[in-house]
Structure 1
Amino acid sequence: MDAVQRPALRVRTREAADLGDLAERLPRREGVAWIRDGSGLIGCGEVARYKASSFADAERWWADLVEAAEIESDLDDPPSGSGLVAFGSFVFDPDNTDSQSILIVPEVVYGHRGGRSWITEISDPTKQALTPPLTRSAPPAAEPDSAPEAPRTVSYADGALSGPQWEGAVAEAVRRINANGLDKVVLARNLLAVADRDLDPRWLVRQLSGTYRRCWTYLVDGLVGATPEMLVRSEAGLVTSRVLAGTIRRTGRDDHDLALAAALSGSSKDLEEHEYAVRSVAAALAPYCSGMNVPDAPYVLELPNVLHLATDVTAALDPGTTALGLAAALHPSAAVCGTPTDLARTTIAELEKMDRGRYAGPVGWIDARGDGEWGIALRCGQIDDTDPRQIRLYAGCGIVAGSDPEAELAESNAKLVPMRDALAG
């Protein structure tokens, strides 16, 4: 974007006493969300939107926007996420021209992080604002006369592959792993859900953020989900990446789930899958960080529907790299692609028979300082642009030499539970 095209945004941030439940401030239209355990960011309206051809393209656009912006804040020691912020969602495969990555700058951002709350107004002086300016007394609630609506009836249909066909793809992946140097590949499947009326994104966000509080619930341009996997967080020079690989479905009985957790921790198949993912993240971060800490063994992350093997990698960020730049370096990790990366990507394209779009790509936000949080778009669905009654759900599994197609199908069904439950209410 050249100097003539870029808008000179005006940004004003002020402290807020109590914003209540952030999810309740999400508008039905032109809303974006990033929430975990009551904290996060909600955006209303759009002052700028950019369709990016690559991570580098997105970074250039964002740097130009930040440079031209007039930014003011009433906050002492403003926290990450305050001030000028963009929400983003990136495609899994940048070579796929049918899908586009996107950055969105809202008109109003409601933030609550680290025990502090704030409201940011962002305006383009050359355009008329779509939302009224905030008053000092009380921020407006988003569409107070319109309550979120649950889908009444939802029907499901196979996506690109039926269950048995996907099992066949898994079997073929295992054959290739044992034959041609492929160590691991992540295969995904999709499912089409059709409601009897237009889907209300607010309903889905509230259901997901309420049930999966330890996950990051997100909404960006119709992509909605609750991911347990933090690709990278960069805040005040500290970098964190949460790696998940190795999954087992919970039974709902504590004694059984305790035994399942022990079995997961000792599973050679799952530990192998997890090790590939951790190694890929550590190798990608190394050129940009110092003092990296990689735990010797994973822990078991307990979610309402599944158990995961998890490892939190931490490091100190070298100067000059943004959260978005780190996301670009990390994507695609072995947790969503496989290893070796190029061979895994080729295998995915040949066996999945679908366009992942922005599923399994980075999703999150970046602020004017370059801090941000980028999760991996998992446990999600993409609301159809032309028919908002439809949403395509996605789930994927890491396939290694010891994978069993029937067990992998069961695991993929477990990973579809969060979105299916959110649709069912």
Structure 2
Amino acid sequence: MSLSDPLQPGSAVPAPQLVVRSQRVEGVAAALMDHLPETGGLAWVRRGDGHVGWGVAARLDVAGSNRFAEAQAWWKELTANAVVRDEIGVPGSGLVCFGSFGFTDTDASELVVPEVIVGRRGGITWVTTISGASSLAAPPELTTYEPEPVGAVAFADGARSGTAWSGIVADAVKRITNGELDKVVLARDLIAISPNPIDLRWPLRRLASAYPNCWTFSVDGLIGATPELLVRREKGLITSRVLAGTIRRTGDDAHDLALAASLARSSKDLEEHEYAVRSVADALKPHCKSMNVPETPFVLHLPNVMHLASDVAGVAANGASALGLAAALHPSAAICGTPTDVARDVIGEIEGMPRGRFSGPVGWMDAAGDGEWCIALRCGQADPDDPTRMRLFAGAGIVAGSDPEAELAETNAKLVPMRDALGD
């Protein structure tokens, strides 16, 4: 079955009929995150624009090898049956879903349509209300909230200690040297333990403030600020930002400029980056009339690290939605490896932990199929059974020239955003 094919009768959860209205609101100065209630908040914010939502008007939980196709079929049915009055008319107004997909076929994935969405784009703020077909909910009076600080957080090893994880990296390098594969991305986790239940709005606000150029997200307890845009589709233009190759910042501007120059010349990092760009370009090519694939990457400067980055762009050649494009791209070499199937098997064999939705697609989509899906990086998953705990995640791309201790240091740098966001 292709990504655009409908499901066979009876193979998907029936989609409800919804009534949707988007209306402009004036005089709203508060940041989008400030409107989130204590529980059940959804968020997608970059540079102050984006969406936040709450409540559940419709939801699809899905897993398995057909999960992307099932999600697309459900969304297609939902949008076809919805009654929409959209007074804004921009990507992200009207009927919108938030979503998060697991790294593997067996990991849980979901699409969520909130009851209320507050959106902002280009200086315009709007409220979307979504309800069942029998009624049209009145737009709520927007309220701002102040989250509780998390408190003094302790951190503990997750599935493996740093030393044990370095040993896994050494194993992977040996496999690459022996010719089993070219690259594999290995992840590790860290457990954050708070003395109080963690109010997710606290780290979300801090992430959005500290990393404005990243996409700060919250979907079903998975929160983070990711720098990597898997794919955006907007009015026929497809874009993807590929990151691979990382170096930690020191805080000394002159030294960091020298480090950026060394990163741009690093054969190990350039090799890792080339694999990632090639996998994205190959996956998008069938969906594009024309493409622009940069020959050389630029250095993306973030507060904690610097990455080699390339922006791949294309003109859409078919009706593939943003989610359909994300499905075609996942898993890319940037979060899995090369060749993909071999790397995925190696990850399953030696990584030693379930990733869940870490490194899977996370994002949003509207009724036109436009939207943004990023890779869930620099993130943490709230423990559904213990509100005082979260799993934090980081990974590193391993190639023949990788040094285990350097890769461990890279993961420590990538854990900094979530560690700092949870602190006082």
Do both proteins adopt the same fold according to a TM-score greater than 0.5, normalized to the shorter chain?
yes
1:69 is matched with: 82
Counterpart amino acid of residue 123 in structure 1: S
Query: Among residues 61, 74, 86, which one is paired with 1:51 in the alignment?
Result: 61
Query: Among residues 75, 86, 95, which one is paired with 2:97 in the alignment?
Result: 86
Cα separation, 2, equivalents of 1:35 and 1:398: 27
SS of 1:385's equivalent in the other structure is coil
Q: Output one character per residue of 1:3-59: Cα deviation in whole Å (capped at 9) or x when no partner.
A: 994311000011122433111011211110000010111012111111022100100
Q: Output one character per residue of 1:99-149: Cα deviation in whole Å (capped at 9) or x when no partner.
A: 31000000111111233221111001358x9xx7226xxx3215x4xx201
Task: Confirm whether residue 270 of structure 1 aligns to residue 269 of structure 2.
Answer: yes
Residue 294 of structure 1 deviates from its aligned partner by 0.6
Q: Output one character per residue of 1:323-381: Cα deviation in whole Å (capped at 9) or x when no partner.
A: 00000000000000000001000111111100000000000001000000000000000
The correspondence of residues 2-151 of structure 1 with structure 2, limited to 5 A, is 5-20=14-29, 21-53=31-63, 54-75=67-88, 78-94=89-105, 96=106, 99-125=107-133, 133-134=138-139, 139-141=141-143, 144=145, 147-151=146-150
Cα separation, 2, equivalents of 1:40 and 1:19: 14
1:173 is matched with: 172
Q: Output one character per residue of 1:142-178: Cα deviation in whole Å (capped at 9) or x when no partner.
A: 5x4xx20111121111111101100000000000001
Q: Output one character per residue of 1:59-105: Cα deviation in whole Å (capped at 9) or x when no partner.
A: 01111100110011223xx11000000000000011x2xx3100000
SS of 2:203's equivalent in the other structure is helix
The correspondence of residues 189-228 of structure 1 with structure 2, limited to 5 A, is 189-228=188-227
Moved more, 106-115 or 64-73: 106-115
Q: Are the equivalent residues in 1 in contact too, given 2:92–2:365 (CA < 8 A)?
A: yes
Q: Are the equivalent residues in 1 in contact too, given 2:128–2:139 (CA < 8 A)?
A: no
Cα separation, 2, equivalents of 1:320 and 1:237: 9
Moved more, 111-120 or 329-338: 111-120
Classify 1:5/1:399 alpha carbon distance in 2 versus 1 (closer, same or farther; 3 Å): closer
4+ residue stretches of structure 1 with deviation over 6 A?
A: 1-4
Cα separation, 1, equivalents of 2:28 and 2:385: 34
SS of 1:396's equivalent in the other structure is strand
1:327 is matched with: 326
**TM-score scaled by length of structure 2:** 0.94
Cα separation, 2, equivalents of 1:39 and 1:51: 27
Cα separation, 2, equivalents of 1:187 and 1:284: 22
Cα separation, 1, equivalents of 2:81 and 2:134: 14
Cα separation, 1, equivalents of 2:407 and 2:128: 44
Cα separation, 2, equivalents of 1:141 and 1:240: 35
Residue 319 of structure 1 deviates from its aligned partner by 2.7
Q: Output one character per residue of 1:298-340: Cα deviation in whole Å (capped at 9) or x when no partner.
A: 0000000000000000000123110000000000000000000
Cα separation, 1, equivalents of 2:150 and 2:71: 35
Cα separation, 2, equivalents of 1:383 and 1:361: 16
The size of the alignment, in residue pairs, is 411
The correspondence of residues 290-329 of structure 1 with structure 2, limited to 5 A, is 290-329=289-328
**TM-score scaled by length of structure 1:** 0.94
Q: Are the equivalent residues in 1 in contact too, given 2:102–2:357 (CA < 8 A)?
A: yes
Residue 253 of structure 1 deviates from its aligned partner by 0.6
Counterpart amino acid of residue 52 in structure 2: I
Cα separation, 2, equivalents of 1:39 and 1:79: 13
Q: CA RMSD in A?
A: 1.5
Structure 1 gaps, min length 5: none
SS of 2:372's equivalent in the other structure is strand
Cα separation, 1, equivalents of 2:13 and 2:185: 43
The correspondence of residues 352-371 of structure 1 with structure 2, limited to 5 A, is 352-371=351-370
1:374 is matched with: 373
SS of 2:133's equivalent in the other structure is coil
Classify 1:284/1:18 alpha carbon distance in 2 versus 1 (closer, same or farther; 3 Å): farther
Cα separation, 2, equivalents of 1:18 and 1:39: 15
Counterpart amino acid of residue 121 in structure 1: T
Q: Output one character per residue of 1:210-252: Cα deviation in whole Å (capped at 9) or x when no partner.
A: 0000000000000000000000000000000000000000000
Cα separation, 2, equivalents of 1:125 and 1:70: 8
SS of 1:358's equivalent in the other structure is coil
Cα separation, 2, equivalents of 1:5 and 1:179: 49
Residue 422 of structure 1 deviates from its aligned partner by 0.3
Moved more, 36-45 or 111-120: 111-120
Identity of aligned residues (%): 58
